[in-house]
A and B are shown apart, each in its own frame.
Chain A
Amino acid sequence: MTDSSLAETLNISKSGLWKNNVALVQLLGLCPLLAVTGTVINGLGLGIATLMTLVFSNSIVSLIRPWLKSEIRIPVFVLIIASIVTTIELIMNAWFHDLYLVLGIFIPLIVTNCSIIARAEAYASKNNIVNSALDGFMMGLGFTLVLVVLGGMRELIGFGTLFANAQLMFGSMGESMTITFSENYPGFLLAVLPPGAFIGLGLLIAVKNIIDKRQSAKQPVIIANADPVVS
């Protein structure tokens, strides 16, 4: 029992963080992903908001799963997700007001992040609450990591800084977190603009695919079983 649950935990983690990553593999929620990753802090802020939404929505969906009728499950999911996102939006407005102002419309737009309803439907409505919450957490963490890495790439290339505006999230402590690499960095506009986000995401996906390929080359037997189409 413990063995199988441990295996499941590992499986969920691996799936959320890498194998089935929301942003890199499922390619869901790209609109906020591309729009807010101008800086690390923006990416982190939206990532954490999405992560919280995923954990709560997965937990609640899993909790009510015995009473859920299949014909109304989609409206119920939408209701649950919308309520959670609105709650998170209000809380961010109250506690992280400056970050809230920066992220703006993209917080309520978490509702439209397909990955959340996809996890509710595909995982939480079929599994127990512990695993569902873990699944939400790992999927959210995978998404957050991509947001942070992409935000870091764009901020570094676009502005020559890292963790700019960290005080939005960490208060006065964050002001000393900003790393400026060159005072006279002219800035690279392409990285800041939306095309930079697309190019950055494309590079990240490419890197992931390269790593996957390297790994599968090390284990030829497994890949042969998993993917018989490859000749």
Chain B
Amino acid sequence: MAILFTYKKNILITTSLLMLFSVIGAAMVGLTFTQTADDIKHNEKLTLLRQLNTIIPAEAYDNDLLLDTKTIKPSPLLGTSEASLVYRARKDTQNVAVIFSSIAPNGYNGPIELLVGVYTNGRLAGVRVIKHRETPGLGDAVSITHSDWILGFNDKSLSNPDEKHWKVKRDGGIFDQFTGATITPRAVVSAVHDALLYFDKNQAILFSNKPGAINHSDNLGKTVKPKQPNSNSQPDQKNHDR
């Protein structure tokens, strides 16, 4: 009986010791988390904004890109299977451009995620690869960190070049391929072209400012009537923080 008692007591001590360490560890992590949460959020915002600003320069718009967003339905033209976010740039309440994500499904090693910026006149503001698994040294040249190839899309539109030439050179188009890697640029070119088609069809929806449908709108199921982008509801104007 006495042995059983000490045994139980031992377990109790051991368990509470383990629990004590768990609580201390959790408290440490929790404390750091609350202390750094604001900084981290701020960093993430800055990183995103910096990325968006490489596509549409900060001088070109005067609203808060990160707040003037809208959720759009998945579309085969964008290669998206989930709702995605579109950032709208406006200046003096005039629409300037949108940035939305697009996925090239047929990269060499899987999907390539792009950010595509388009001005209201259908001209490309710029394209950036934000996530890819292409071969290092070959296909990864689509990324701005490895080459300037992606800048070749700047100022292109559906009519420049025409439909027939929206291809890599090997397929009779105007866009360079890389030595030893044609599949990756081919995938990106076709994805950007589709993204432009999407913009062409949906421009009014992308810019529309339906009340209550600004941030993470819930009107996914409804058809949105194309309408003039109105200027009176600009929630972003008063939301400039920092």
Binding site for B on A (CB under 8 A): 64, 67, 69, 71-72, 75-76, 79-80, 82-84, 86-87, 90-91, 93-95, 97-98, 101, 187, 189, 192-193
Contact = CB atoms under 8 A, between A and B. Distances in A.
Interface of B: 13-14, 17-18, 21-22, 24-26, 28-29, 32-33, 36, 39-40, 43-44, 46-47, 136-137
A193 B136 contact: yes
B32 A90 contact: yes
A90 B33 contact: yes
A90 B36 contact: yes
A94 B40 contact: yes
B9 to A, nearest CB: 13
A214 B28 CA distance: 48
Contacts of B40: 90, 93-94, 97
27 contacts: A67-B17, A71-B14, A72-B14, A72-B17, A75-B18, A76-B18, A79-B21, A79-B25, A80-B21, A80-B25, A82-B25, A83-B28, A83-B29, A86-B29, A87-B28, A87-B32, A90-B29, A90-B32, A90-B33, A91-B36, A93-B39, A93-B40, A97-B40, A97-B47, A101-B47, A192-B136, A193-B136
Contacts of A67: 17
A69 B19 CA distance: 13
Given A90-B33, A90-B40, A192-B136, A76 B21 contact: yes
A169 to B, nearest CB: 15
A66 to B, nearest CB: 12
Contacts of A76: 17-18, 21
B67 to A, nearest CB: 21
Nearest to A101: B47
Contacts of A69: 13-14, 17
Nearest to A69: B14
Contacts of A75: 18
A192 B36 contact: no
Contacts of A64: 21
Contacts of A87: 28-29, 32
Given A69-B17, A79-B22, A93-B36, A189 B137 contact: yes
A87 B27 CA distance: 11
A189 B146 CA distance: 13
A189 B21 CA distance: 47
Contacts of B46: 97
Nearest to B38: A94
A93 B43 contact: yes
A83 B33 CA distance: 11
A95 B40 CA distance: 8
A86 B33 CA distance: 9
Contacts of A84: 28
B164 to A, nearest CB: 34
Nearest to A88: B32
A187 B137 contact: yes
B37 to A, nearest CB: 8
A101 B43 CA distance: 11
Contacts of A86: 29, 32
A7 B137 CA distance: 50
Contacts of A98: 47
A60 B124 CA distance: 56
B39 A83 contact: no
A76 B136 CA distance: 41
Contacts of B28: 83-84, 87
From A79, A83, A97, name the one whose CB has the most chain B CB atoms within 10 angstroms: A83
Nearest to A187: B137
A-B residue pairs, 10 tightest by C-beta: A83-B25, A94-B39, A97-B43, A94-B36, A189-B137, A87-B32, A90-B36, A90-B32, A86-B29, A79-B25
